[in-house]
Amino acid sequence: MTEALISALFIFVLATFAGFEVITKVPPTLHTPLMSGANAISGIAILGALIVAGDKDWNVTVILGLIAVVFATINVVGGFLVTDRMLQMFKKKEVKA
């Protein structure tokens, strides 16, 4: 049990460092497409959280799965709203005659 926990923690720390290095190297012009990709990943997290929360008995995993569904949904909706607002900045404004 402790070996699995240590290996999972090791992978988490490596993924954190790799993610930080990748994100800091992204130029500002690519932030909108990157945010859209992050929203897709959060959508996958919602599916995983639904699978975890899908048990009939109420226990800790169901409660944590429900919390994960709520937070991932907030992340997806907020991300799409921000992406839409950023894309609105690039539209040409109509000139009234």
Other beta carbons within 10 Å of 5:
9
> Which pLDDT score is estimated for 32?
67
> Which pLDDT score is estimated for 55?
65
Instruction: Using CB atoms within 10 Å of the CB of residue 72, give its burial: 0 to 12 exposed, 13 to 18 middle, 19+ buried.
Output: buried
Structural domain includes residue 22: no
> Which pLDDT score is estimated for 10?
93
| Number of domains, the chain | 1
> Which pLDDT score is estimated for 14?
94
Q: What is the mean pLDDT of each run of 10 residues along the chain (97 residues)?
A: 86 90 79 71 80 74 81 83 79 75
Residues spanned by the domain of 77: 29-88
> Which pLDDT score is estimated for 26?
78
